[in-house]
Amino acid sequence: MLIFDQEITGLARDLIGARLLVRGVGGTVLETEAYGRDDPASHSFRGLTARNAAMFGPAGSVYVYLSYGCHLCLNVVGRPGEAVLIRAIRPEFGIEAMRERRGGAGLLAAGPGRVGQALGIGLSDGGTLFGAEGFALEGGGRATELLVGPRIGITRAVERPWRFGMAGAPGLSHPFPAR
DNA sequence: CTCTAGATAAACT
DNA sequence: GTTTATCTAGAGT
């Protein structure tokens, strides 16, 4: 059973290997990133705004944001102002639907923007609780060996090793640094 | 492999 | 009014 109300890096670790379903489409979480409350790289760093309001919602709810004007990214909310970005999943359910949404591209859900597109996420899904109609998140825990590395695509607090991945899994968005 | 365009909301000056 | 942002696809080297 997943504990949403815990330290955000712990939640990011526990989410690796969990099964994520959005309206019957989804698969196993392969890669995540943690974003904290006092974290210069986090949207919540400058306090509550209209954009990040869902990030201050209940633990276990959804935070969605539009990145670079064209990519919807899916996050799982933990404690207030903290969230975990889902960067990659292994497609297992509704693969046909994903293929269709992705326009037949090969990489169905390796990368946060691709995950959002494959699952058909919308900004209006922000605030929805996992467990509510159409949204499921189960399993997880620290069953698998984890890879750890710096986060991708940020300009602040680059040194924090808050990116996590499933060791040996194909379909990661970017390789992890060799240990 | 590197480079660049694309597209938009929100924060910032 | 200007700049930035948790990125991707496609073209070029």
Strand C contact with A70 (CB < 7 A):
yes
> How many CB atoms neighbour CB A1 within 10 A?
7
Instruction: Tell me the helix, strand and coil percentages in chain A, rounded to 5.
Output: 20, 30, 50
A54-87 per-position pLDDT tens digit: 999 999 999 999 999 999 999 999 999 999 999 9
Single pTM value for the model: 0.96
Summarize the confidence of residues A46-56 as an average pLDDT: 95
- Is a pLDDT exceeding 80 seen at residue A155? yes
Domains of chain A: 8-166 (3.10.300.10)
A92-105 per-position pLDDT tens digit: 999 999 999 998 88
The pLDDT, as a whole number, for residue A67 is 96
Summarize the confidence of residues A11-26 as an average pLDDT: 97
Distance in Å from C8's C1' to A80's CA comes to 30
Cα–Cα dist A67/A24, whole Å: 25
**Nearest residue (CA) to C1' of B9:** A69
The pLDDT, as a whole number, for residue A141 is 82
Q: What angle do CA A87, A149, A40 make, to 5 degrees?
A: 75
Using the CA of A84, give the nucleotide whose C1' is nearest.
C6
The pLDDT, as a whole number, for residue A139 is 87
A114-144 per-position pLDDT tens digit: 999 999 999 999 999 999 999 999 988 876 8
Q: Residues with Cβ < 8 Å from A19, sequence gap 6 or more?
A: A26, A27, A28, A29, A92, A136, A137, A138, A139, A140
Summarize the confidence of residues A27-40 as an average pLDDT: 96
Q: Is A10 helix (H, G, I), strand (E, B) or coil?
A: helix
Arithmetic mean of pLDDT over chain A: 95
